[in-house]
């Protein structure tokens, strides 16, 4: 099949641009060609003909069977991966038709306004990254790429999505964030295999009701739109793990009636004015709940049904009191409250941090907390499974919840049957906190192929083994309240780590290996002996949003820390620096960052 290039202006590379013969040879051998970040405005012609021998090559062919390995033209493989990212390319040639074996095409960060129709023949393509270009619409050829699993179109100028998007039925990840979308076609909801769907930073006022059919969804990001109401069918997404609703116009807490697997819910910067126990009942397994920058006036006692809640952000609401029963939520490690006007909780208690605040709330509790929790708590089909003292585990229940919660057993060693159960059930979450463990046992390595959350907080661990870095899917790691002084350099391999808690240990600096973790969003390092803030290292963490350095030995806060505007929560209390003053710290993160930026010397 051939396509005619009607404009007769097929892009030609600059005279100085050429593909080095060694690159050609390597690409033919490996099937991979990386040409990113070369400043090109167009692509050399021989890229599109990489697997076609030139006349000169045909003349010099060696047919000898003992020729050097690199000269064995019959051993070459078709190009399967092509990376042209971070250039200034304005057009992709129709001759891309010659690369029909491509499986991965990365052309993000260029100047593309369209793609050639001939790309429709790339029927083996499974990943296409066209993000950060200038596309005004989704090129029609993309709808013919029916084998696509990943399609990245963020940071373009898209104003609409065609009904033909339904043809991409095998998509598992779709990113349409940071565009100009005002509505979505109903057909997009037929993409039932999508697990990651990002629609943030658009102008959407509504989401089609059919979203309930996207039952494979695990991560849904609707942040920074104009949603005033969420369709009830969002509550039918039974596999949803993370839901982002920040910066919308929601007036009510979302009804998530069947979202029993939800672990993280972000509702900050909306217009929510109340929450109730009924709102929390369907999401009893949530670990992170963000309700900052709303208009919430009170928190119900029923919040205790969120028995595994670890982080609760209530910053900048209208709270004047807190329910004392919050003090008995044993997994709650971070409670953010700045920007409220409490009448019954003194500011100095709030500023001392979460552990002191929870202790104070417990002291205010007049009734029997255990009795209250038992009488208020209703049974749930997805309650986290905690092993009884006999260690006779309910393997069926653990396999269903994918969680092994084995905390507070006063154990020095992990029983063999506990590890065997974790392996057999392929659990995603292992909680071994509040024991007497002195090391992380190597036997857990057998769970690393699927493990996502690991909690070793409140033990007696003195060192962290390098083999932990092989847990490639790990998203959350908690090591707080141990005796750890450093982390192995191999931790830089934990590419999927989003949260790490090393609070209450013996660190004298933030481990440098963490600065390589491009997906790290949450870094909890309070109650250590950290003396300096490495702004250059922290600047490499481009998605870092929570940084807790409370109660360390920091004597100076670098003004350039104010440039980390991605931070939503910066905690610096309990250090020995004089500036910023306590009055600035009390105003919250935005005020701290603004103050620091104002102190940066002019060039």
Instruction: Read off the pLDDT of residues 61-88 as tens digits, 9 standing for 90 and up.
Output: 555 444 454 455 556 899 999 999 999 9
Distance CA 186, CA 38 (A): 41
| pLDDT value of position 559 | 93
- Dihedral sign for Cα 575, 580, 586, 590, please: negative
Task: For residue range 195-234, list pLDDT tens digits in order.
Answer: 999 999 999 999 998 898 998 999 999 999 999 999 999 9
In this predicted structure, the answer to whether residue 31 has a pLDDT above a threshold of 70 is yes
Residue 202 is classified by DSSP as: S
Distance CA 409, CA 394 (A): 17
Ranges 11-15, 280-284, 497-501, 545-549: which has the least confidence: 11-15
Distance CA 129, CA 147 (A): 14
Reading phi first (left if > 0) and then psi (alpha if -120 to 50, else beta), residue 269 is in left
Average pLDDT over residues 455-468: 93
As a dihedral over the C-alpha atoms of residue 119, residue 125, residue 126, residue 128, rounded to 10 degrees, the angle is -40
As a dihedral over the C-alpha atoms of residue 375, residue 377, residue 382, residue 387, rounded to 10 degrees, the angle is -60
> Confidence band (pLDDT; 50, 70, 90) for 59?
low
| pLDDT value of position 355 | 85
Contact yes or no for 145/124 (Cβ under 8 A): no
> Confidence band (pLDDT; 50, 70, 90) for 54?
low
Task: For residue range 96-150, list pLDDT tens digits in order.
Answer: 999 999 999 999 999 999 999 999 999 999 999 999 999 999 999 999 999 999 9
Instruction: Quote the radius of gyration of the chain (alpha carbons, Å).
Output: 27
pTM: 0.71
| pLDDT value of position 57 | 58
Average pLDDT over residues 373-402: 54
Could you tell me the end-to-end alpha-carbon distance of the chain, in angstroms, rounded to an integer? 59
Distance CA 166, CA 394 (A): 42
| pLDDT value of position 72 | 58
In this predicted structure, the answer to whether residue 236 has a pLDDT above a threshold of 70 is yes
Strands (E) across 274-392 are located at 288-290, 311-313, 334-336
Nearest to 335 by CA among 526, 125, 120: 526
Contact yes or no for 483/505 (Cβ under 8 A): yes
Task: For residue range 154-191, list pLDDT tens digits in order.
Answer: 999 999 999 999 999 999 999 999 999 999 999 999 99
> Confidence band (pLDDT; 50, 70, 90) for 387?
very low
Distance CA 292, CA 319 (A): 11
Distance CA 306, CA 51 (A): 58
Task: For residue range 307-348, list pLDDT tens digits in order.
Answer: 899 999 999 999 999 999 898 898 998 899 988 988 878 877
Superfamily of domain 399-598: Ribonuclease Inhibitor (3.80.10.10)
432 or 378: which leads in pLDDT:
432
213 or 1: which leads in pLDDT:
213
Q: Tokens 């999927």 sit at which residue?
A: 496
| pLDDT value of position 164 | 95
User: ∠436-440-442 over CA atoms, to 5°?
Assistant: 135
Residue 572 is classified by DSSP as: -
Average pLDDT over residues 32-46: 92
| pLDDT value of position 372 | 46
Average pLDDT over residues 11-28: 69
Nearest to 492 by CA among 511, 473, 509: 511
In this predicted structure, the answer to whether residue 9 has a pLDDT above a threshold of 70 is no
In this predicted structure, the answer to whether residue 588 has a pLDDT above a threshold of 80 is yes
Instruction: State the burial class of residue 2 (Cβ atoms within 10 Å of its Cβ: 0-12, 13-18, 19+).
Output: exposed
Helix (H, G, I), strand (E, B) or coil at 547: strand
117 or 396: which leads in pLDDT:
117
| pLDDT value of position 2 | 32
HEC letters along 379-419:
CCCCCCCECCCCCCCCHHHHHHHCEEECCCCCCCCCCHHHH
The whole-chain average pLDDT of the chain stands at 86
| pLDDT value of position 380 | 40
> Confidence band (pLDDT; 50, 70, 90) for 488?
very high
| pLDDT value of position 371 | 40
| pLDDT value of position 60 | 59
Question: Which percentage of the chain shows pLDDT scores above 90?
Answer: 61
Task: For residue range 492-518, list pLDDT tens digits in order.
Answer: 999 999 999 999 999 999 999 999 999
Contact yes or no for 344/368 (Cβ under 8 A): no
């Amino acid at each position: 099949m051939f396509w005619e290039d009607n404009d007769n202006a097929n892009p030609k590379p600059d005279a100085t641009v050429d593909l080095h013969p060694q690159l050609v040879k390597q690409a033919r051998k490996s099937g991979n060609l990386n040409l990113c970040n070369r400043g090109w405005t167009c692509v050399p012609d021989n890229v599109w003909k990489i697997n076609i021998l030139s006349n000169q090559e045909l003349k010099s062919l060696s047919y000898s069977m003992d020729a050097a390995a690199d000269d064995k033209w019959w051993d070459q493989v078709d190009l399967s991966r092509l990376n042209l990212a971070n250039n200034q390319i304005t057009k992709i040639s129709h001759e891309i038709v010659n690369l029909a074996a491509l499986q991965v095409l990365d052309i993000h960060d260029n100047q593309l306004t369209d793609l050639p129709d001939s790309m429709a023949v790339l029927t083996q393509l499974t990943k296409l990254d066209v993000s950060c270009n200038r596309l005004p619409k989704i090129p029609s050829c993309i709808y013919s790429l029916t084998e696509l699993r990943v399609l990245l179109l963020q940071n373009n100028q898209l104003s609409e999505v065609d009904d033909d998007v339904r043809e991409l039925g095998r998509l598992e990840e779709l990113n349409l964030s940071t565009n100009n979308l005002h509505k979505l076609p109903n057909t997009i909801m037929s993409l039932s295999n999508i697990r990651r769907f990002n629609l943030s930073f658009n102008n959407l006022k509504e989401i089609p009701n059919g979203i309930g059919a996207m039952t494979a969804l695990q991560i849904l990001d609707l942040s920074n739109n104009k949603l005033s109401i969420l369709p009830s069918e969002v509550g039918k997404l039974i596999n949803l793990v993370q839901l982002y609703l920040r910066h919308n116009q929601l007036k009510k807490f979302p009804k998530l009636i069947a979202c029993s697997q939800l672990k993280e819910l972000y509702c900050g910067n909306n217009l929510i004015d109340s929450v109730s126990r009924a709102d929390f009942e369907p999401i009893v397994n949530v670990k992170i709940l963000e309700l900052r920058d709303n208009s919430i006036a009170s928190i119900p006692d029923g919040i205790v049904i969120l028995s595994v809640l670890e982080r609760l952000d209530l910053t900048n609401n209208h709270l004047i009191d807190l329910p004392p029963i919050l003090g008995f939520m044993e997994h709650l490690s971070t409670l953010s409250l700045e920007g409220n006007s409490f009448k019954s909780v003194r500011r100095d208690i709030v500023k001392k941090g979460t552990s002191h605040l929870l202790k104070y709330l417990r002291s205010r509790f007049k009734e029997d907390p255990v009795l209250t929790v038992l009488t208020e708590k209703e049974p749930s089909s997805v309650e986290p499974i905690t092993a009884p003292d006999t260690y006779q585990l309910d393997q069926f229940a653990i396999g269903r919840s994918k969680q092994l919660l084995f905390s507070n057993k006063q154990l020095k060693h992990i029983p063999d049957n506990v590890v065997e159960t974790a392996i057999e059930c392929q659990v995603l979450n292992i909680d071994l906190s509040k024991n007497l463990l002195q090391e992380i046992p190597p036997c857990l390595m057998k769970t690393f192929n699927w493990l996502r959350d690991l909690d070793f907080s409140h033990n007696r661990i003195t060192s962290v083994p390098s083999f932990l870095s092989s847990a490639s899917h790990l998203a959350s790691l908690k090591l707080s309240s141990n005796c750890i002084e450093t982390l192995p350099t191999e931790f830089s391999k934990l590419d999927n780590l989003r949260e790490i808690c090393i609070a209450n240990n013996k660190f004298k600096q933030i481990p440098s290996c963490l600065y390589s973790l491009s997906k790290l969003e949450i870094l909890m390092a309070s109650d250590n002996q950290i003396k300096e803030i490495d702004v250059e290292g922290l600047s490499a963490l481009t998605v870092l949003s929570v940084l807790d350095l409370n109660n360390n030995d920091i004597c100076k806060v670098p003004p350039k820390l104010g440039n980390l505007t991605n931070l939503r929560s910066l905690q610096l209390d309990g250090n020995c620096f004089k500036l910023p003053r306590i009055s600035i710290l009390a105003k919250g993160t935005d005020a701290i960052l603004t103050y620091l930026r104002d102190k940066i010397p002019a060039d």
